Amino acid sequence: MLAAVTVQARAAAAGHRAEDQVRANLRALRLARGWSRDPVGTLVALAGSTVSAHESGYRKLRADHLPVYAAAFGVRPAELFDPRAVELAALRAAFGATR
């Protein structure tokens, strides 16, 4: 029984870490471009306050948000989970590579 609880706790922690990484990457990608939240909101069809709430964790990110944010920042949705997302996007932009 204790082992099952430990496995569930680890899975939940991993899920939170993944979500925290996405939130951090959304903010880092936005700041790397020198954008405020309102232009990002326009690109993803959300209010700037919603972008802020997604970055800070006040609002839950849904799976359908990921491709929209990824397209706005020129990254693949899976790259939003990667700690190197900002560097990958910068390299892609520097070398003119497409997603």
**Within a domain: 78:** yes
**Within a domain: 84:** yes
**Within a domain: 11:** no
Residue-wise pLDDT for 43-89, tens only, equals: 999 999 999 999 999 999 999 999 999 999 988 999 999 988 888 77
pLDDT band of residue 98 (cuts 50, 70, 90) is low
Residue burial 52-77, b: 16+ Cβ < 10 Å; e: rest? bbbbeeeeebeeebbeebbebbbbbb
Position 16 scores a pLDDT of 73
More confident residue, 11 or 37: 37
**Within a domain: 24:** yes
Which CATH number covers residue 67? 1.10.260.40
Residues in Cβ contact with 37 at an 8 Å cutoff, skipping those fewer than 6 apart: 30, 48, 49, 51, 52, 55
Position 15 scores a pLDDT of 61
Number of domains in the chain: 1
**Within a domain: 81:** yes
Query: Looking at residue 78, what DSSP letter applies?
Result: G
**Within a domain: 33:** yes
Structural domain span for residue 49: 17-95
